[in-house]
């Protein structure tokens, strides 16, 4: 496709986009669906770039499924019944494309698409960029339309070439008008089949689903997994999480996002991987929106040495391990041993750095004393700004440890979690402190270097650990069990506790 990029960095990025798209194509084709996909000139584009490239119409639901057909006889009446329609009807086999002309005259013309591209700007079309069916009809009503043989298609914008020879006009001004068009409402499936008995019809559809980008052949009936019941699942999702949107257009857009994410969840779970995905409060978000939410709008280091950095509280000194993975037990769960509290629902707050770090601190307390405390995440959010954390926006493990070293730590019952930034509430009653100043210091933290997998497993024998993982993957948005730890290189991070 004679494609090149301006820099090595851009070329490397496009290689990664290409790789992901090829993987999607291969996975889709393995499912033996009614259509097939292939590598094409769009394969190094992200889905968002392809959608922008191909976008031609309004995204509102009232337009996306609107149907138009030239009127032949009788007015359009809504139909709620599909019974009575033939099971097979093919206007192509009858040789009909410019069909309304054939139906009215018995002659099938080939009309000039290029004339519409070049000459209908006055009616509101924009050449190769954008256009509307209504504008096409208006142009023909105003000026007529030439045969394609006199104004052939070039697939690019040119100067309008007015043809004055009336004999070269397939339709003269006024031969058709907007009054000759019947519009079928978006939800009337029966009404779609009714005018289809009279001739081919024009529909506007959503061209954003990922399959369009790589379409090769076959019948692309649904843009993904089984759509039956998707509207019901979407309604249940909105009800469960008390979600509503400001307009019908936004709701229609979110339904499409939900459908795509539900398809991804189902396809992933069918692979029987080591983790499962599920519909949750993020399922109507795009991946970009989820990444921004998880990072609270902040981007972090892209180096792999950071994204896979692991820390654990010291029980004895650590040095890089020379053990093989076979030296470690095949099953270990600190949860089953009683060293881990039930999980906290994080909510709309970037508090994972505090939750994960305090989980490891709580486990260390249990290992030292036999008592499992529940420490106050909210105290870290509200009070550790001096150490460099920024509440629900961002924070680090080392800043959490530094705060505990400087001020101690309260139990959650005295400073409960609210999942939002508040004013710091300093509690002077020392009896409410679970950890006192100096009980824990940064010297008590051990870091396991990236790549030292044996060292990671070795320290995990001594207690739960804190890791930083990629939160920008689609799996992260829908994870329900066992996180998928991605390699470094992405720049949205999330903190997790490893408990076994």
Same domain, 362 and 373: yes
Report the C-alpha gap between 116 and 123 in whole angstroms.
10
Inside any domain, residue 67: no
> Based on the structure, what is the number of domains in the chain?
4
Containing structural domain, residue 328: 290-498
Same domain, 424 and 443: yes
Q: What percent of the chain has pLDDT over 90?
A: 20
Q: pLDDT at position 483, please?
A: 37
Report the C-alpha gap between 384 and 402 in whole angstroms.
9
Residue 421 confidence class, pLDDT cut points 50, 70, 90 = very high
Residue 493 confidence class, pLDDT cut points 50, 70, 90 = low
Inside any domain, residue 385: yes
Inside any domain, residue 33: yes
Residue 307 confidence class, pLDDT cut points 50, 70, 90 = very low
- pLDDT tens digits, 206-239: 565 667 777 788 766 554 444 446 777 888 888 8
Which residue would you say has higher pLDDT here, 483 or 117?
117
Both tokens of residue 68?
Answer: 């138009």
Inside any domain, residue 89: no
Q: What is the dihedral of CA 291, 393, 403, 301, to 10 degrees?
A: 50
Residue 113 has pLDDT above 50, yes or no: yes
DSSP output for 143-188: H-EEBGGGS---SS---------GGGEEE-TTSS-GGGEEEE-TT-
Helix (H) or strand (E) holding 71: none
Same domain, 452 and 354: yes
What residues contact 25, with CB distance under 8 A and at least 6 apart? Answer: 37, 38, 39, 43, 214
> What CATH number is attached to the domain comprising 129?
3.90.70.10
Q: pLDDT at position 228, please?
A: 45
Same domain, 364 and 476: yes
Q: pLDDT at position 462, please?
A: 85
Q: pLDDT at position 304, please?
A: 30
Same domain, 485 and 349: yes
> What CATH number is attached to the domain comprising 270?
1.10.287.2250
Q: pLDDT at position 402, please?
A: 92
Q: What is the DSSP code (8-state) at residue 261?
A: H
Same domain, 273 and 303: no
Same domain, 109 and 254: no
Coil, helix or strand at residue 240? helix
Inside any domain, residue 68: no
C-beta of residue 137 within 8 angstroms of C-beta of residue 174? no
Of 186, 218, 250, the last residue of a domain is 218
- pLDDT tens digits, 362-411: 888 888 888 899 999 999 999 999 999 999 988 988 899 999 999 888 88
């Amino acid at each position: 496709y004679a494609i090149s990029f301006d820099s090595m960095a851009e070329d490397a990025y496009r290689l990664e986009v290409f790789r992901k798209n090829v993987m999607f194509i291969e996975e889709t084709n393995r499912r033996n669906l009614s259509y097939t996909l292939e590598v094409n000139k769009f394969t190094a584009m992200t889905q968002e770039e392809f959608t922008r490239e191909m976008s031609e119409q309004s995204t509102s639901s009232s337009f996306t499924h609107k149907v138009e057909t030239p009127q032949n006889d009788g007015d359009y009446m809504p139909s709620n019944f599909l019974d009575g329609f033939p099971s097979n009807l093919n206007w192509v086999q009858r040789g009909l494309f410019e069909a309304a002309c054939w139906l009215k005259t018995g002659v099938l013309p080939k009309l000039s698409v290029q004339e519409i591209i070049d000459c209908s700007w006055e009616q509101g079309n924009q050449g190769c960029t954008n256009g509307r069916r209504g504008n096409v009809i208006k142009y023909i009503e105003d000026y007529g339309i030439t045969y394609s043989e006199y104004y052939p298609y070039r697939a690019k914008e040119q100067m309008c070439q007015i043809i004055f020879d009336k004999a070269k006009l397939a339709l003269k001004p006024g031969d058709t008008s907007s009054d000759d068009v019947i519009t079928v409402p978006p939800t009337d499936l029966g009404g779609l089949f009714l005018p289809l008995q009279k001739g081919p019809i024009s529909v506007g559809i959503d061209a954003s689903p990922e399959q369009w980008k790589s379409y090769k052949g076959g019948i692309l009936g649904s843009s993904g997994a089984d759509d039956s019941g998707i509207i019901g699942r979407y309604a249940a999702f909105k009800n469960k999480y008390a979600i509503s949107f400001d307009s019908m257009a936004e709701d229609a857009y979110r339904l499409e996002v939900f459908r795509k994410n539900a398809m991804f969840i189902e396809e992933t779970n069918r692979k029987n991987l080591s983790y499962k995905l599920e519909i949750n409060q993020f399922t109507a978000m795009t991946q970009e929106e989820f990444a921004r939410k998880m990072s609270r709008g902040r981007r972090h280091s892209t180096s792999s040495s950071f994204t896979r950095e692991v820390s654990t509280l010291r029980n004895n000194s650590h040095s890089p391990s020379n053990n093989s993975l076979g030296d470690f037990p095949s099953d270990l769960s600190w949860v089953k041993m009683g060293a881990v509290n039930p999980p906290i629902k994080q909510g709309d707050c970037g508090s994972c750095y505090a939750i994960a770090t305090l989980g490891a601190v709580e486990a260390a307390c249990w290992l030292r004393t036999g008592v499992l405390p529940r420490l106050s995440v909210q105290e870290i959010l509200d009070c550790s700004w001096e150490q460099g954390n920024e509440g629900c926006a961002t924070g680090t493990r080392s800043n959490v440890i530094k705060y505990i070293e400087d001020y101690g730590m309260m139990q959650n019952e005295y400073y409960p979690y609210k999942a939002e930034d508040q004013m710091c509430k300093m509690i002077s009653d020392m009896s409410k402190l679970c950890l006192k100043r100096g009980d824990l210091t940064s010297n008590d933290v051990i870091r396991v270097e990236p790549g030292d997998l044996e060292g990671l497993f070795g320290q995990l024998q001594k207690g739960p650990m804190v890791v930083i993982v990629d939160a920008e993957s689609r799996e992260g948005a829908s994870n329900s069990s066992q996180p998928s730890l991605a390699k470094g290189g992405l720049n949205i991070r999330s903190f997790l506790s490893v408990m076994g």
